[in-house]
Amino acid sequence: MANASTTTKKDSIKLTTPVFRASFANVFKPRVPFEGQEAVYSVEMLFDKKGYSGKGASEADKKSGDMKWLKAAIKQVADAKWGEGKWPKNFKSPIKDGDEKELEGYPGNFFLTVKSKQKPGIVDRQLNEIIDPSEFYSGCYAKATVVVKWYSTAGNNGVAVYLSNLQKFADGEAFSGKRNAKDDFDALEELDGSESMAEESEGGDDGYDF
């Protein structure tokens, strides 16, 4: 059902996103966004304005940069709530321009913040569950199932996108700047038992050479 929406309620649409780059990925433990608010799981999705053209990209991924796939869902939900051409003047879109945010990786992208009170399911390309937080991180590439829904609360009106589940699509450079240990070293041949014991004995009985 990649990139296809399924409408189950008049006020919401569930869909699968094209490939995005994950940022501020708090998907294993909930985090309190602001003091006094409820802890939630969240991730910011970065969509390259030129589309995603990495290995394995679909045609929908390559064309995702115009955000038409999401704008259509937003329009459908907002029209159902307020009527076509009758959206509130203070209507807020979930789509933000990364060029206006001075953060690593944001320029040249559109982004949206998605949240959930429930922990999202996270799987790899083979649909194996990912339970190691180091495997899904800020900087990796992923797809997600999300729910697009209108809101109207305390004078605030708009459409929000809520996180359901995640699928890791590919590795990417971590935003933290911390290198993967695999990138810092070369693979070495295994030592046999005699070599290991010889090296351990060179520094004395306790293994240290002061």
Question: Where residue 122 falls among pLDDT bands split at 50, 70, 90?
Answer: very high
Average pLDDT over residues 131-159: 96
Tokens at 145, concatenated: 């199932």
In this prediction, residue 36 carries a pLDDT of 84
Domain parsing of the chain, residue ranges: 5-179
CA distances for 31 relative to 15, 26, 37, 138, 144, angstroms: 25, 7, 10, 15, 19
In this prediction, residue 39 carries a pLDDT of 96
Tokens at 88, concatenated: 């509130």
In this prediction, residue 207 carries a pLDDT of 44
Query: What is the DSSP annotation of 60-88?
Result: HHHTGGG-HHHHHHHHHHHHHHH-TT---
Question: Where residue 193 falls among pLDDT bands split at 50, 70, 90?
Answer: low
**Cβ proximity of 13 and 5 under 8 Å:** yes
Per residue in 53-89, pLDDT tens?
A: 999 999 999 999 999 999 999 999 999 999 999 999 9
CATH entry 2.40.50.140 includes domain 5-179 = yes
In this prediction, residue 8 carries a pLDDT of 46
DSSP letter (8 states) at residue 37: S
Per residue in 89-109, pLDDT tens?
A: 999 999 999 999 989 899 999
Per residue in 158-182, pLDDT tens?
A: 999 999 999 999 999 999 755 566 6
